[in-house]
A and B are shown apart, each in its own frame.
Chain A
Amino acid sequence: MTCDEAEVLLHALIDGELDASHIRDVENHLAGCPRCAAALRDYRNMSKMMAEGDVRYTAPAALRQRIEAALPQLKASPDRRAVLRGFAMGSAVSALAATGLVAIVLRQDDMERIQAEVVSAHLRSLQAGHLTDVVSTDRHTVKPWFNGKLDVAPPVVDLTAQGFTLIGGRLDYVDARPIGAIVYKRRSHVINLFVAQTVSTEHHAAKTDALQGFNIRRWSERGLNYWAISDIARDELAEFGEKFEAAMRTGSAG
Protein backbone atom coordinates (compact mmCIF):
# COMPACT_ATOMS: atom_id res chain seq x y z
CA MET A 1 0.00 0.00 0.00
CA THR A 2 1.27 3.46 -0.91
CA CYS A 3 1.15 6.53 1.35
CA ASP A 4 -1.46 8.08 -0.95
CA GLU A 5 -3.78 5.13 -0.43
CA ALA A 6 -3.08 4.93 3.27
CA GLU A 7 -3.67 8.66 3.71
CA VAL A 8 -7.30 8.17 2.63
CA LEU A 9 -7.90 4.77 4.20
CA LEU A 10 -6.55 5.58 7.64
CA HIS A 11 -9.52 7.93 8.12
CA ALA A 12 -11.87 5.06 7.50
CA LEU A 13 -9.84 3.19 10.10
CA ILE A 14 -10.31 6.02 12.63
CA ASP A 15 -14.03 6.21 11.85
CA GLY A 16 -14.61 2.47 12.08
CA GLU A 17 -15.72 2.26 8.45
CA LEU A 18 -13.02 -0.13 7.24
CA ASP A 19 -13.50 -3.85 6.65
CA ALA A 20 -11.19 -6.40 8.25
CA SER A 21 -8.96 -7.06 5.25
CA HIS A 22 -8.31 -3.35 4.67
CA ILE A 23 -7.65 -2.79 8.36
CA ARG A 24 -4.78 -5.30 8.07
CA ASP A 25 -3.43 -3.59 4.94
CA VAL A 26 -3.47 -0.15 6.54
CA GLU A 27 -1.92 -1.39 9.77
CA ASN A 28 0.85 -3.11 7.81
CA HIS A 29 1.61 0.15 6.04
CA LEU A 30 1.54 2.18 9.28
CA ALA A 31 3.98 -0.22 10.92
CA GLY A 32 6.61 0.67 8.31
CA CYS A 33 5.79 4.35 7.70
CA PRO A 34 6.46 6.84 10.54
CA ARG A 35 4.95 9.72 8.60
CA CYS A 36 1.57 8.05 8.14
CA ALA A 37 1.69 6.74 11.71
CA ALA A 38 2.26 10.28 12.98
CA ALA A 39 -0.66 11.51 10.90
CA LEU A 40 -2.91 8.80 12.34
CA ARG A 41 -1.86 9.73 15.87
CA ASP A 42 -2.59 13.41 15.24
CA TYR A 43 -5.97 12.72 13.63
CA ARG A 44 -7.00 10.55 16.55
CA ASN A 45 -5.92 13.26 18.96
CA MET A 46 -7.82 15.87 16.99
CA SER A 47 -10.99 13.76 17.02
CA LYS A 48 -10.66 13.25 20.75
CA MET A 49 -10.09 16.93 21.45
CA MET A 50 -12.94 17.92 19.15
CA ALA A 51 -15.22 15.55 21.01
CA GLU A 52 -14.11 16.88 24.37
CA GLY A 53 -14.16 20.53 23.34
CA ASP A 54 -17.36 22.50 23.13
CA VAL A 55 -17.61 22.98 19.38
CA ARG A 56 -21.38 22.69 19.09
CA TYR A 57 -23.85 25.54 19.11
CA THR A 58 -27.14 25.79 20.97
CA ALA A 59 -30.09 27.09 19.03
CA PRO A 60 -31.32 30.41 20.47
CA ALA A 61 -34.59 30.18 22.38
CA ALA A 62 -36.12 32.75 20.03
CA LEU A 63 -35.45 30.46 17.05
CA ARG A 64 -37.16 27.55 18.78
CA GLN A 65 -40.14 29.78 19.55
CA ARG A 66 -40.35 31.05 15.97
CA ILE A 67 -40.39 27.50 14.64
CA GLU A 68 -42.98 26.33 17.14
CA ALA A 69 -45.09 29.38 16.38
CA ALA A 70 -45.00 28.53 12.69
CA LEU A 71 -46.36 25.03 13.19
CA PRO A 72 -50.16 24.93 12.82
CA GLN A 73 -51.46 23.57 16.09
CA LEU A 74 -48.70 24.88 18.26
CA LYS A 75 -49.17 28.46 17.26
CA ALA A 76 -52.80 28.63 18.29
CA SER A 77 -52.88 26.06 21.02
CA PRO A 78 -52.54 28.41 23.99
CA ASP A 79 -55.56 30.33 22.69
CA ARG A 80 -57.54 27.26 21.81
CA ARG A 81 -56.83 25.60 25.07
CA ALA A 82 -58.19 28.66 26.78
CA VAL A 83 -61.55 27.71 25.25
CA LEU A 84 -61.62 24.79 27.58
CA ARG A 85 -59.56 26.11 30.42
CA GLY A 86 -60.97 25.85 33.88
CA PHE A 87 -62.33 28.40 36.25
CA ALA A 88 -59.36 27.57 38.42
CA MET A 89 -57.35 29.89 36.25
CA GLY A 90 -56.72 33.00 38.33
CA SER A 91 -59.28 35.72 37.80
CA ALA A 92 -56.67 38.30 36.89
CA VAL A 93 -55.22 35.96 34.30
CA SER A 94 -58.59 35.06 32.89
CA ALA A 95 -59.69 38.68 32.80
CA LEU A 96 -56.54 39.51 30.91
CA ALA A 97 -57.00 36.59 28.59
CA ALA A 98 -60.67 37.28 28.05
CA THR A 99 -60.04 40.70 26.56
CA GLY A 100 -57.99 39.25 23.76
CA LEU A 101 -59.56 35.87 23.53
CA VAL A 102 -63.25 36.28 22.99
CA ALA A 103 -62.84 37.00 19.32
CA ILE A 104 -60.36 34.18 18.83
CA VAL A 105 -62.30 31.69 20.87
CA LEU A 106 -65.34 32.05 18.71
CA ARG A 107 -63.55 32.06 15.41
CA GLN A 108 -65.33 29.88 12.96
CA ASP A 109 -62.51 27.48 12.11
CA ASP A 110 -61.78 26.86 15.75
CA MET A 111 -65.39 26.03 16.34
CA GLU A 112 -65.42 23.68 13.38
CA ARG A 113 -62.33 21.95 14.59
CA ILE A 114 -63.65 21.51 18.09
CA GLN A 115 -66.96 20.27 16.74
CA ALA A 116 -65.06 17.68 14.72
CA GLU A 117 -63.36 16.59 17.93
CA VAL A 118 -66.71 16.45 19.69
CA VAL A 119 -67.94 14.08 16.96
CA SER A 120 -64.84 11.93 17.43
CA ALA A 121 -65.34 11.85 21.19
CA HIS A 122 -68.99 10.93 20.69
CA LEU A 123 -68.04 8.09 18.32
CA ARG A 124 -65.44 6.80 20.77
CA SER A 125 -68.02 6.82 23.55
CA LEU A 126 -70.32 4.60 21.51
CA GLN A 127 -67.79 1.78 21.40
CA ALA A 128 -68.41 -0.98 23.89
CA GLY A 129 -67.39 -0.06 27.41
CA HIS A 130 -66.51 3.54 26.63
CA LEU A 131 -69.79 5.29 27.26
CA THR A 132 -69.63 5.96 30.98
CA ASP A 133 -67.01 6.09 33.70
CA VAL A 134 -69.66 6.52 36.37
CA VAL A 135 -73.00 4.82 35.86
CA SER A 136 -75.89 6.35 37.74
CA THR A 137 -79.29 7.82 37.11
CA ASP A 138 -78.78 9.91 40.23
CA ARG A 139 -77.33 13.34 39.57
CA HIS A 140 -76.10 13.45 43.16
CA THR A 141 -73.84 10.54 42.31
CA VAL A 142 -72.73 11.75 38.89
CA LYS A 143 -71.82 15.30 39.82
CA PRO A 144 -69.49 14.53 42.77
CA TRP A 145 -67.72 11.92 40.65
CA PHE A 146 -66.25 14.76 38.58
CA ASN A 147 -64.78 16.45 41.65
CA GLY A 148 -61.02 16.36 41.53
CA LYS A 149 -61.06 15.19 37.91
CA LEU A 150 -61.92 18.57 36.49
CA ASP A 151 -61.28 22.04 37.84
CA VAL A 152 -64.98 22.53 38.31
CA ALA A 153 -67.57 19.78 38.02
CA PRO A 154 -70.07 20.34 35.19
CA PRO A 155 -73.71 20.86 36.12
CA VAL A 156 -75.73 17.67 36.06
CA VAL A 157 -79.45 17.94 35.42
CA ASP A 158 -81.96 15.14 35.79
CA LEU A 159 -84.26 15.26 32.77
CA THR A 160 -85.87 11.85 33.22
CA ALA A 161 -89.28 13.42 33.70
CA GLN A 162 -88.81 15.24 30.37
CA GLY A 163 -88.00 12.01 28.54
CA PHE A 164 -84.19 12.16 28.66
CA THR A 165 -82.72 9.61 31.03
CA LEU A 166 -79.50 10.42 32.81
CA ILE A 167 -77.29 7.35 32.61
CA GLY A 168 -73.92 8.59 33.82
CA GLY A 169 -70.83 10.68 33.31
CA ARG A 170 -67.46 10.33 31.67
CA LEU A 171 -64.15 12.11 31.56
CA ASP A 172 -63.24 12.75 27.93
CA TYR A 173 -60.66 14.68 25.98
CA VAL A 174 -61.37 17.39 23.48
CA ASP A 175 -58.78 19.82 22.21
CA ALA A 176 -56.19 17.93 24.24
CA ARG A 177 -57.91 18.95 27.47
CA PRO A 178 -59.96 16.89 29.88
CA ILE A 179 -63.62 17.66 29.53
CA GLY A 180 -66.73 16.48 31.32
CA ALA A 181 -69.30 14.49 29.38
CA ILE A 182 -72.76 13.82 30.79
CA VAL A 183 -74.53 10.97 29.12
CA TYR A 184 -78.27 10.85 28.51
CA LYS A 185 -80.48 8.45 26.61
CA ARG A 186 -83.56 9.14 24.55
CA ARG A 187 -85.12 5.76 23.85
CA SER A 188 -82.08 3.83 22.57
CA HIS A 189 -80.20 6.92 21.37
CA VAL A 190 -77.22 8.25 23.28
CA ILE A 191 -76.83 11.96 23.86
CA ASN A 192 -73.42 13.18 24.99
CA LEU A 193 -73.42 16.59 26.61
CA PHE A 194 -69.88 17.98 26.69
CA VAL A 195 -69.30 20.82 29.10
CA ALA A 196 -66.19 22.96 29.12
CA GLN A 197 -65.30 26.10 30.95
CA THR A 198 -64.54 29.21 28.96
CA VAL A 199 -63.05 32.57 29.79
CA SER A 200 -66.04 34.26 28.20
CA THR A 201 -69.13 34.73 30.35
CA GLU A 202 -71.18 35.91 27.40
CA HIS A 203 -74.39 34.16 26.61
CA HIS A 204 -74.53 32.57 23.18
CA ALA A 205 -77.86 31.27 21.99
CA ALA A 206 -78.01 27.71 20.79
CA LYS A 207 -76.99 26.84 17.26
CA THR A 208 -77.36 23.43 15.68
CA ASP A 209 -75.08 21.96 13.04
CA ALA A 210 -75.09 18.60 11.34
CA LEU A 211 -71.74 16.87 11.09
CA GLN A 212 -71.00 13.32 9.91
CA GLY A 213 -74.60 12.26 10.45
CA PHE A 214 -74.87 13.72 13.93
CA ASN A 215 -76.63 16.80 15.17
CA ILE A 216 -74.59 19.08 17.39
CA ARG A 217 -76.28 21.78 19.40
CA ARG A 218 -73.94 24.22 21.06
CA TRP A 219 -74.55 27.12 23.39
CA SER A 220 -72.73 29.15 26.04
CA GLU A 221 -74.03 30.22 29.37
CA ARG A 222 -72.42 31.60 32.50
CA GLY A 223 -68.85 30.77 31.57
CA LEU A 224 -69.58 27.31 30.23
CA ASN A 225 -69.60 26.03 26.67
CA TYR A 226 -72.02 23.20 25.94
CA TRP A 227 -72.07 20.76 23.06
CA ALA A 228 -74.94 18.28 22.91
CA ILE A 229 -74.44 15.63 20.27
CA SER A 230 -76.62 12.73 19.20
CA ASP A 231 -78.10 10.96 16.23
CA ILE A 232 -81.60 11.90 17.34
CA ALA A 233 -83.53 14.30 15.13
CA ARG A 234 -82.72 17.97 15.15
CA ASP A 235 -85.98 19.00 16.84
CA GLU A 236 -85.57 16.35 19.53
CA LEU A 237 -82.07 17.58 20.26
CA ALA A 238 -83.45 21.12 20.40
CA GLU A 239 -86.01 19.90 22.92
CA PHE A 240 -83.22 18.38 24.98
CA GLY A 241 -81.25 21.63 24.91
CA GLU A 242 -84.25 23.75 25.83
CA LYS A 243 -85.24 21.45 28.71
CA PHE A 244 -81.67 21.50 29.97
CA GLU A 245 -81.39 25.28 29.83
CA ALA A 246 -84.78 25.66 31.48
CA ALA A 247 -83.73 23.33 34.31
CA MET A 248 -80.53 25.34 34.75
CA ARG A 249 -82.52 28.57 35.03
CA THR A 250 -84.82 27.14 37.67
CA GLY A 251 -81.78 25.99 39.59
CA SER A 252 -82.51 22.29 39.58
CA ALA A 253 -78.97 21.41 38.55
CA GLY A 254 -76.99 19.31 40.98
Chain B
Amino acid sequence: MPRKKSEDPEKALRFREAALPFLDDTYTLARYLLRDAADAEDAVQECYLRAFKHFDRYRGPAMKPWLFAILRNVCRAEYARRAGTPTSAIEDAPECAEQAPLWHEDQETPETQILRKKDSDTLRQLVAALAEPFRQTFVLREIQNLSYREIADVTEVPVGTVMSRLARARAMLRFAWIAEEEQRK
Protein backbone atom coordinates (compact mmCIF):
# COMPACT_ATOMS: atom_id res chain seq x y z
CA MET B 1 0.00 0.00 0.00
CA PRO B 2 2.47 2.64 -1.08
CA ARG B 3 -0.10 5.38 -1.12
CA LYS B 4 -0.95 5.03 2.53
CA LYS B 5 2.71 4.93 3.46
CA SER B 6 3.41 8.12 1.61
CA GLU B 7 0.59 9.84 3.48
CA ASP B 8 1.90 8.97 6.92
CA PRO B 9 5.00 11.17 6.77
CA GLU B 10 2.85 14.01 5.51
CA LYS B 11 0.46 13.54 8.40
CA ALA B 12 3.40 13.47 10.79
CA LEU B 13 4.67 16.71 9.31
CA ARG B 14 1.32 18.45 9.68
CA PHE B 15 0.95 17.11 13.21
CA ARG B 16 4.44 18.24 14.09
CA GLU B 17 3.75 21.78 12.92
CA ALA B 18 0.39 21.94 14.65
CA ALA B 19 1.13 20.25 17.98
CA LEU B 20 4.81 20.52 18.85
CA PRO B 21 4.73 24.30 19.46
CA PHE B 22 2.57 23.49 22.51
CA LEU B 23 5.00 20.98 23.99
CA ASP B 24 6.13 23.33 26.77
CA ASP B 25 2.52 24.24 27.57
CA THR B 26 1.51 20.60 27.72
CA TYR B 27 4.53 19.70 29.81
CA THR B 28 3.82 22.57 32.19
CA LEU B 29 0.26 21.37 32.69
CA ALA B 30 1.49 17.81 33.23
CA ARG B 31 3.96 18.98 35.87
CA TYR B 32 1.20 20.71 37.81
CA LEU B 33 -1.29 17.87 37.40
CA LEU B 34 1.11 15.07 38.39
CA ARG B 35 3.65 16.98 40.51
CA ASP B 36 6.39 14.66 39.35
CA ALA B 37 8.89 15.36 36.55
CA ALA B 38 9.31 11.76 35.32
CA ASP B 39 5.57 11.02 35.39
CA ALA B 40 4.93 14.29 33.55
CA GLU B 41 7.33 13.31 30.78
CA ASP B 42 5.68 9.93 30.35
CA ALA B 43 2.22 11.49 30.35
CA VAL B 44 3.15 14.11 27.74
CA GLN B 45 4.70 11.50 25.48
CA GLU B 46 1.59 9.33 25.75
CA CYS B 47 -0.55 12.42 25.16
CA TYR B 48 1.27 13.26 21.92
CA LEU B 49 1.11 9.69 20.66
CA ARG B 50 -2.63 9.58 21.28
CA ALA B 51 -3.07 12.99 19.71
CA PHE B 52 -1.20 11.85 16.62
CA LYS B 53 -3.36 8.74 16.41
CA HIS B 54 -6.52 10.84 16.48
CA PHE B 55 -5.13 13.69 14.43
CA ASP B 56 -7.07 12.59 11.33
CA ARG B 57 -10.30 13.31 13.16
CA TYR B 58 -9.15 16.57 14.73
CA ARG B 59 -11.36 19.42 13.51
CA GLY B 60 -10.83 21.87 16.31
CA PRO B 61 -11.24 23.37 18.87
CA ALA B 62 -7.93 25.19 19.20
CA MET B 63 -4.95 22.82 19.33
CA LYS B 64 -3.89 23.70 22.88
CA PRO B 65 -7.15 22.81 24.66
CA TRP B 66 -7.45 19.73 22.48
CA LEU B 67 -4.03 18.51 23.65
CA PHE B 68 -4.91 19.41 27.24
CA ALA B 69 -8.10 17.35 27.13
CA ILE B 70 -6.09 14.35 25.93
CA LEU B 71 -3.43 14.96 28.57
CA ARG B 72 -6.10 15.08 31.24
CA ASN B 73 -7.36 11.66 30.16
CA VAL B 74 -3.83 10.29 30.26
CA CYS B 75 -3.33 11.72 33.75
CA ARG B 76 -6.55 10.16 34.93
CA ALA B 77 -5.09 6.74 34.19
CA GLU B 78 -2.00 7.76 36.13
CA TYR B 79 -4.18 8.87 39.06
CA ALA B 80 -5.88 5.50 39.02
CA ARG B 81 -2.52 3.76 39.02
CA ARG B 82 -1.35 5.81 41.98
CA ALA B 83 -4.59 5.23 43.82
CA GLY B 84 -3.69 1.55 43.75
CA THR B 85 -0.50 2.25 45.65
CA PRO B 86 -0.90 2.82 49.40
CA THR B 87 1.31 5.91 49.69
CA SER B 88 -0.48 8.06 47.15
CA ALA B 89 -2.97 10.80 47.75
CA ILE B 90 -3.76 12.39 44.42
CA GLU B 91 -7.33 13.52 44.81
CA ASP B 92 -6.64 15.80 47.72
CA ALA B 93 -10.05 17.33 47.90
CA PRO B 94 -12.77 15.37 49.61
CA GLU B 95 -16.12 15.18 47.85
CA CYS B 96 -17.61 17.94 49.96
CA ALA B 97 -14.76 20.40 49.32
CA GLU B 98 -16.42 21.98 46.32
CA GLN B 99 -19.54 22.71 48.30
CA ALA B 100 -17.69 24.15 51.29
CA PRO B 101 -18.07 27.90 51.81
CA LEU B 102 -15.26 30.06 50.50
CA TRP B 103 -14.76 32.04 53.63
CA HIS B 104 -13.72 30.70 56.97
CA GLU B 105 -13.61 32.85 60.05
CA ASP B 106 -10.09 31.77 60.95
CA GLN B 107 -8.86 32.72 57.50
CA GLU B 108 -9.94 36.32 57.70
CA THR B 109 -7.28 38.51 56.15
CA PRO B 110 -6.40 42.06 56.98
CA GLU B 111 -7.72 44.41 54.32
CA THR B 112 -4.71 46.64 54.41
CA GLN B 113 -2.00 44.03 53.93
CA ILE B 114 -0.43 44.05 50.49
CA LEU B 115 0.74 40.73 49.05
CA ARG B 116 4.48 40.54 48.54
CA LYS B 117 6.22 39.36 45.46
CA LYS B 118 7.63 35.83 45.56
CA ASP B 119 10.36 34.05 43.68
CA SER B 120 9.37 31.56 41.02
CA ASP B 121 10.16 28.46 43.10
CA THR B 122 7.85 29.64 45.83
CA LEU B 123 5.15 30.49 43.33
CA ARG B 124 5.41 27.01 41.79
CA GLN B 125 5.21 25.40 45.22
CA LEU B 126 2.16 27.44 46.17
CA VAL B 127 0.35 26.41 43.00
CA ALA B 128 1.44 22.79 43.33
CA ALA B 129 0.09 22.73 46.88
CA LEU B 130 -3.45 23.57 45.75
CA ALA B 131 -5.86 20.66 45.98
CA GLU B 132 -7.43 19.13 42.90
CA PRO B 133 -9.65 19.91 41.05
CA PHE B 134 -8.91 23.53 41.95
CA ARG B 135 -5.28 23.27 40.92
CA GLN B 136 -5.98 22.24 37.33
CA THR B 137 -8.64 24.92 36.94
CA PHE B 138 -6.26 27.54 38.29
CA VAL B 139 -3.35 26.44 36.07
CA LEU B 140 -5.54 26.35 32.96
CA ARG B 141 -6.70 29.90 33.64
CA GLU B 142 -3.72 31.62 35.21
CA ILE B 143 -0.78 29.91 33.52
CA GLN B 144 -2.29 28.62 30.28
CA ASN B 145 -4.66 31.56 29.66
CA LEU B 146 -7.61 29.43 28.59
CA SER B 147 -11.07 30.98 28.53
CA TYR B 148 -13.75 29.72 30.92
CA ARG B 149 -15.44 27.96 28.02
CA GLU B 150 -12.20 26.18 27.04
CA ILE B 151 -11.52 25.18 30.65
CA ALA B 152 -15.06 23.82 30.89
CA ASP B 153 -14.48 21.72 27.77
CA VAL B 154 -11.08 20.44 28.88
CA THR B 155 -12.23 19.52 32.39
CA GLU B 156 -15.68 18.34 31.26
CA VAL B 157 -17.70 20.43 33.70
CA PRO B 158 -20.17 23.32 33.25
CA VAL B 159 -18.82 26.89 33.08
CA GLY B 160 -20.46 27.61 36.44
CA THR B 161 -18.33 24.91 38.04
CA VAL B 162 -15.24 26.40 36.44
CA MET B 163 -16.11 29.74 38.00
CA SER B 164 -16.66 28.38 41.49
CA ARG B 165 -13.51 26.24 41.32
CA LEU B 166 -11.45 29.18 40.17
CA ALA B 167 -12.86 31.36 42.96
CA ARG B 168 -11.96 28.69 45.47
CA ALA B 169 -8.50 28.14 43.98
CA ARG B 170 -7.64 31.81 44.15
CA ALA B 171 -9.00 32.13 47.66
CA MET B 172 -6.89 29.17 48.79
CA LEU B 173 -3.84 30.57 47.07
CA ARG B 174 -4.36 33.95 48.66
CA PHE B 175 -4.40 32.47 52.14
CA ALA B 176 -1.40 30.29 51.38
CA TRP B 177 0.38 33.36 50.01
CA ILE B 178 -0.18 35.26 53.24
CA ALA B 179 0.61 32.21 55.40
CA GLU B 180 3.91 31.81 53.61
CA GLU B 181 4.77 35.42 54.44
CA GLU B 182 3.85 34.86 58.08
CA GLN B 183 6.16 31.86 58.20
CA ARG B 184 9.10 33.89 57.02
CA LYS B 185 8.72 36.49 59.70
Please indicate the chain A residues that have their CB under 8 angstroms from the CB of B52 in the complex. 70-71
**B44 & A63 in contact (Cβ 8 Å cutoff):** yes
Q: Which of A5-13, A188-196, A198-206 contacts B (4 or more CB under 8 A)?
A: A5-13
A8 with B28, Cβ < 8 A, contacts A66-B45, A73-B12 known: no
Which of A3, A17, A56, A109 interacts with B148 by CB under 8 Å?
A: A17
B123 pairs with A55, CB closer than 8 A = yes
B173 and A46 within 8 A (CB): yes
List, in ascending order, chain A residues with CB within 8 A of B9's CB: 72-74, 77
Contact of A115 among B2, B8, B23, B115 (CB under 8 A): B2
Please choose the segment from A34-42, A136-144, A147-155, A229-237 that sits at the chain B interface, where 4 or more of its residues have CB less than 8 A away. A34-42
A11-B167, A46-B174 as given contacts; A211 in contact with B2, CB under 8 Å: yes
Closest 4 CB pairs of A and B: A73-B9, A116-B2, A59-B27, A38-B111
- Contact check, A71 vs B15: say whether CB atoms are below 8 A apart: yes
Contact with A along B85-106 (1 / 0, CB 8 A): 0000000000000000111000
B120 engages A54 (CB within 8 Å): yes
What are 16 A-B pairs at a CB distance below 8 A? A7-B171, A11-B163, A37-B111, A38-B109, A45-B114, A46-B115, A47-B142, A50-B142, A54-B120, A56-B24, A68-B16, A70-B45, A70-B52, A71-B52, A77-B9, A109-B5
Which residues of A128-187 are within 8 A (CB) of B? none
Size of B's binding interface in residues, CB under 8 A: 56
Which residue on chain B has the smallest CB distance to residue A175?
B9
A124 touches B (CB below 8 Å)? no
| Cβ-defined partner of B8 (8 Å) among A67, A72, A117 | A72
Nearest-neighbor residue (CB-CB) of A52 within chain B: B117
CB–CB A67/B23 < 8 A: yes
Instruction: Type the 1/0 row for A64-100, where 1 means its CB is closer than 8 Å to any CB of B.
Output: 1011101111100100000000000000000000000
- State the CA gap A4–B16 with chains docked (Å): 46
Provide the bound-state CA to CA distance between A38 and B109, in Å.
Answer: 9
- Asked, given contacts A38-B111, A57-B27, A115-B2, whether A50 binds B170 with beta carbons under 8 Å apart, the answer is no
* Docked CA distance A120–B10 (Å): 14
- State the Cβ distance, B183 to closest chain A Cβ, in Å: 18
List which B131-147 residues lie within 8 A (CB) of chain A. Answer: 141-143, 147
**Known contacts being A17-B148, A56-B28, A63-B41, is A71 close to B109, with CB within 8 Å?**
no
A15 to B42 alpha-carbon distance, docked (Å): 32
B120 lies within 8 A of A53 (CB): yes
